[in-house]
Structures are given as structure tokens and as C-alpha cells.
């Protein structure tokens, strides 16, 4: 009789994972290594085998207060005892209303209407639909295209994808299904670069030529995230706002990544002192606990939509305003506002600056940049993911590079000692080409 050696639970999980489960941008043919996480607390992920990793990613910008936070746990548990969900058509509830009021309060003053949805991509779809319905209501349905920036990232659904960078978003794959939007080059100047009017000329020309068919400009204010981790000057954003006013085009600010303090101001629009017509929030909205997003707009947009042909805004997700997610978002946002987040983000910025500085000496590093609680090391060529991921895990840190970028955006609660450990590990791995590139 053949005796079967029972697989350990972790091996079983990994086997089933490889057979059945898609991961972000993954393949089943060349399945990437994935690390099973058993639990997470503070800034530390504990793997199933007991190894502990210091988390430099805040689970993709979300976990600003760290994992397993007592205040957020309490908020969820208390809401769970009341109701985890109830439909939003014809019904309302305290968590959604209080959250909406708080978001209206802390975002630029003219934004006063809030649409809740499930994820960032959907918040972008909602923003785009708002812009289209607005111009329809104004008797200008021909204003139906969007103008976006190259290197932008706005999500993975079809509308959102149509305004993502055409190359990294592989637009040619979907060319029959994607709306053909307009693009201008990404801003060339860095955050601190002295302003030159030439930086805005392509945007100005595009608006001058196409404003008659443009519903909105959509951009990530100040920080282009997943499309390249690039920082650009506040003046660029100011000039875009002026041009949108001049050419009568709406401005959509996608702050899904930058919202809630990440860039050093509560919202990145504040660097430029501008107000968008439509604002998208997500990611850190619930402190990384739940999936929730919000699209805010001003009265001009909401009035237009409601006076238009449809008479209503044509969107209504099943899980709209999910009470559990809203209660968590409310607790997370209050926790943030009560904390000394500005000092925290400032201290993280200083730590990242100091900690990553040795990388700028390296031949194979093209740039090191820090803004708010975001630290980026850009290499001369793309990393070899399998190699560098393993090396970073061996160093006890969780950092997930992409392309030429090795970057961190830690939880705001990360201590000075932890930040030092995080950046030191990053420097050790990046310093050695054998640990970064194709073996």
C-alpha cells in the first residue's frame, strides 16, 4: 500500500493558488512566486512560515494607520453588530451620511456632492460619466472625449483604461473596445523644478485645438503613481486649472493614490491651491480595511446632471455606500485628522531622504526622489522581478518593485527605527546589480 505524505496546509494553499487564482497582472504559465500571509499587525506582515516582513507598501497606498489597528477594528465590530450592509436605493444610514459630510468638509470647498462606489476604478468610471452627462445636459453632447496625461494610471475597467497611458496600458490590445481619448506628454519637470511656460504648451495646444470635443481633463494631481511614480510642479496643475476654465472643459482630479496625506498635504490639489470639478478618492479612504471609493463633484456638475435629459445620475452600484466600509472610512479619516499626520509624513520624508541617499551614488540608478511619504529609486533598466522580490524578502522587507522602479510608501505609523531598517534593506539590494537584474 502506498502511503501518502499529507501536504502541509500552506503547501496545499499554494498549490490551489497556482491552479485556480489570478493575481494582479499575473500568468498561470509562468506563475510568479506568492508568499502566504498569516496575519498582519502594525507595519509587519507575518508569513505562514513565521517569517516577518516590514511592510514598505502599505498594501498599495492604503494602510496608512498600519494593520490590525484597535480603533478601526472597533469601528468595524461595532458597525457589524448593527448591519454590515443595506441597499442604498430609497434607504440611507448614518455611516454614509457622516462620511460624506466629513469628505465634503476636508476636500476643496466647492466639492459638496458625494457618490460612493466599490473601488477606485469605478470611482473613475463615475467621474467620467458625470462629465459626459454634464455636457449632455448643457446641449453639448459633442463634448464627450477626455484629455489625459501619458504615464497616467486611473484603473483597469474599460473607461478608466481608456485614459491610462496608452503604452503601459496596452491600448492596442483593446483598440476596438476603448474610447479613443486624447493624450499629452507627461509633465517633464520635477516637483521643485523652476517653472517654465514651455512645460504647459502641449496641454495648451491640445485644449486650444480640441476643447469643442472635450468633456474633461483627467489627471493625477502632483504624483503620477502606478504609471511611473513621477512628481510634477504645482504650477503645472495651476495652469491646467486656468486652461480648463478658459476653454470651458471640466477638470477631474484622481486622488485615489494621493488622498489622505500621502504627498504631504491632505489632498495633492492643495499643493497648487486648486479645486477640481470632480474628485476621485479610494485606496486609503478606509485605512486599507475595506474596498470603498468616492467621487465628489461641485454644484455646477450636479445641477447640470440633474437638470439634464435623464434627470438623474445614471449609476447605482449594488454595494453603494456599504455601511461597514463607510463606518471604517469614517473612523480611519477621523483617526488621521486627530493624529499629527503632517509631522509624521514630514518625518517619513526626512527618513526616506536620508535612508535612500546612498542609492544616488550608484551607476545603475538614474534617479532618487522623495515627496511626502513616498520614496522612489529609479534604475537605469527594469528589475528582474523574481530575483529582486526574493532578495527583498530575504532582507525581511515587503517592497514590490515594478519596471525600473523600486519604491516605498510606508504606513504613517512606521517608526524611525523601522524606516531605517526598511531603507537600509532597500539600499543593500539595490546596490548589488546581481540582486536586482536578470541573473
Ligand X SMILES: *Cc1c(COP(=O)(O)O)cnc(C)c1O
Judged by CB under 6 A, does residue 265 bind ligand X? no
> Which residue of the set 153, 191, 199, 236 is catalytic?
153
CA distance 146 to 180: 9
Catalytic residue list contains 25: yes
Distance of alpha carbon 422 from alpha carbon 407, whole angstroms: 11
Under the binding rule (CB under 6 A), the answer on residue 124 touching ligand X is yes
Nearer to ligand X by Cβ, of 166 and 282: the residue is 282
Residue in 143, 254, 349, 412 annotated catalytic: 254
Among 115, 116, 153, 199, binds ligand X (CB under 6 A): 153
- Size of interface with ligand X, in residues (CB under 6 A): 15
| Cβ distance to ligand X smaller for residue 55 or 220 | 220
Q: Using the rule CB under 6 A, is 219 a contact of ligand X?
A: no
Which of 155, 259, 287, 355 is in the footprint of ligand X by CB under 6 A? Answer: 155
- The CA distances from residue 33 to 28, 50, 207, 390, in Å, are 11, 17, 45, 9
Question: Of 392, 393, 419, which is closest to residue 406 (Cα–Cα)?
Answer: 392
Residue 192 burial class via C-beta count within 10 angstroms: exposed 0-12, middle 13-18, buried 19 and up: exposed
Q: Interface with ligand X by CB under 6 A: which range of 153-161, 196-204, 298-306, 336-344?
A: 153-161
Residue whose CB is less far from ligand X, 264 or 282: 282
Using the rule CB under 6 A, is 282 a contact of ligand X? yes
Query: Which CB atom, from 55 or from 118, has the smaller least distance to ligand X?
Result: 118
- Which residue's Cβ has the minimum distance to ligand X? 120
Residue 185 DSSP class: P
Task: Confirm or reject binding of residue 120 to ligand X (CB under 6 A).
Answer: yes
| Residue 120 or 321 with smaller CB distance to ligand X | 120
Check if 199 is active-site: no
Q: CA angle at residue 124 from 120 to 130, to 5 degrees?
A: 140
Of 128, 163, 256, 425, which one interacts with ligand X (CB under 6 A)?
256
Closest separation in Å from C-beta 122 to ligand X = 7
Minimum Å gap between C-beta 248 and ligand X is 25
Catalytic annotation present for 129: no
Is residue 402 a contact partner of residue 376, using CB atoms and an 8 Å limit?
A: no
The answer to whether residue 278 forms part of the interface with ligand X (CB under 6 A) is: no
Q: For ligand X, which stretch binds (CB under 6 A), given 78-86, 250-258, 304-312, 392-400?
A: 250-258
Judged on CB neighbours under 10 Å (0-12, 13-18, 19+), 20 is: exposed
Query: Grid coordinates representing 347?
Result: 518625518
When asked if residue 268 is in the footprint of ligand X (CB under 6 A), the reply is no
Q: How far is the CB of 376 from ligand X (least distance, A)?
A: 14
Nearer to ligand X, 110 or 157 (CB): 157
Which of 55, 254, 270, 391 binds ligand X (CB under 6 A)? It is 254
Q: Which is nearer to ligand X, 14 or 285 (CB)?
A: 285
Length of the chain (residues): 439
Alpha-carbon gap, residue 398 to 389, rounded angstroms: 8
259 near ligand X (CB under 6 A): no
Instruction: Identify whether 283 is a catalytic site residue.
Output: yes
> Could you tell me the smallest distance in angstroms from the CB atom of residue 226 to ligand X?
5
User: Is 20 in a helix, a strand, or coil?
Assistant: helix
The span from the CA of 216 to the CA of 197, in Å, is 22
Strand locations in 23-103, DSSP E?
37-41, 44-47, 52-55
Looking only at the bridges linking them, the beta strands covering 214-219 and 250-254 are parallel
**287 in contact with ligand X (CB under 6 A):** no
List Cα–Cα distances, 177 to 84, 159, 161, 162, 172, in angstroms: 36, 10, 10, 9, 10
N-to-C CA span, the chain: 44
Residues noted as catalytic: 25, 153, 254, 283
Residues near ligand X (CB under 6 A) are: 119-121, 124, 153-155, 220, 225-226, 254, 256-257, 282-283
Amino acid at each position: 500500500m502506498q502511503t501518502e505524505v499529507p501536504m502541509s496546509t500552506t503547501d496545499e494553499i499554494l498549490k490551489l493558488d497556482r491552479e485556480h487564482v489570478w493575481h494582479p497582472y499575473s500568468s498561470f504559465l509562468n506563475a510568479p512566486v506568492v508568499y502566504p500571509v498569516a496575519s498582519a499587525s502594525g507595519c509587519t506582515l507575518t508569513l505562514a512560515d513565521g517569517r516577518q516582513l516590514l511592510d514598505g507598501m502599505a498594501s498599495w497606498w492604503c494602510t496608512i494607520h498600519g494593520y490590525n489597528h484597535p480603533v478601526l477594528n472597533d469601528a468595524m465590530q461595532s458597525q457589524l453588530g448593527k448591519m454590515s450592509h443595506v441597499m442604498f436605493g430609497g434607504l440611507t444610514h448614518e455611516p454614509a451620511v457622516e462620511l460624506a459630510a466629513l469628505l465634503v468638509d476636508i476636500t476643496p470647498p466647492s466639492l459638496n456632492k458625494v457618490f460612493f462606489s466599490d473601488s477606485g476604478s469605478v470611482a473613475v468610471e463615475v467621474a467620467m460619466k458625470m462629465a459626459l452627462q454634464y455636457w449632455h445636459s448643457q446641449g453639448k453632447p459633442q463634448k464627450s472625449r477626455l484629455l489625459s496625461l501619458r504615464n497616467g494610471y486611473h484603473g483597469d475597467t474599460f473607461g478608466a483604461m481608456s485614459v491610462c497611458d496608452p503604452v503601459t496600458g496596452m491600448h492596442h490590445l483593446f483598440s476596438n473596445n476603448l474610447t479613443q481619448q486624447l493624450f499629452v506628454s507627461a509633465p517633464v519637470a520635477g516637483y521643485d523644478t523652476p517653472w517654465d511656460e514651455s512645460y504647459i504648451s502641449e496641454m495648451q495646444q491640445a485644449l486650444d485645438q480640441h476643447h469643442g470635443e472635450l468633456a474633461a481633463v483627467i489627471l493625477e494631481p502632483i504624483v503620477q503613481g502606478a504609471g511611473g511614480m513621477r512628481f510634477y510642479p504645482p504650477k503645472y496643475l495651476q495652469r491646467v486649472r486656468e486652461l480648463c476654465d478658459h476653454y470651458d472643459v471640466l477638470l477631474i482630479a484622481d486622488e485615489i493614490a494621493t488622498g489622505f496625506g500621502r504627498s504631504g498635504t491632505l489632498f495633492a490639489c492643495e499643493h497648487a491651491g486648486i479645486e477640481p470639478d470632480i474628485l476621485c478618492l479610494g485606496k486609503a479612504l478606509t485605512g486599507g480595511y475595506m474596498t470603498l471609493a468616492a467621487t465628489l463633484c461641485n454644484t455646477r456638475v450636479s445641477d447640470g446632471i440633474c437638470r439634464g435629459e435623464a434627470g438623474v445620475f445614471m449609476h447605482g452600484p449594488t454595494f453603494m455606500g456599504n455601511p461597514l466600509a463607510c463606518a471604517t472610512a469614517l473612523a480611519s479619516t477621523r483617526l488621521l485628522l486627530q493624529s499629527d499626520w503632517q509631522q509624521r509624513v514630514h518625518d517619513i520624508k526626512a527618513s526616506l531622504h536620508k535612508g535612500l541617499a546612498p542609492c544616488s551614488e550608484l551607476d545603475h540608478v538614474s534617479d532618487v526622489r522623495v515627496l511626502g511619504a513616498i520614496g522612489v529609486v529609479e534604475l537605469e533598466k527594469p528589475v528582474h522581478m523574481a530575483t529582486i522580490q526574493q532578495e527583498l524578502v530575504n532582507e525581511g522587507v515587503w517592497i514590490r518593485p515594478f519596471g525600473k522602479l523600486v519604491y516605498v510608501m510606508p504606513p504613517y505609523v512606521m517608526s524611525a527605527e523601522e524606516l531605517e531598517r526598511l531603507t537600509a534593506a532597500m539600499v543593500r539590494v539595490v546596490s548589488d546589480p546581481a540582486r536586482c537584474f536578470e541573473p
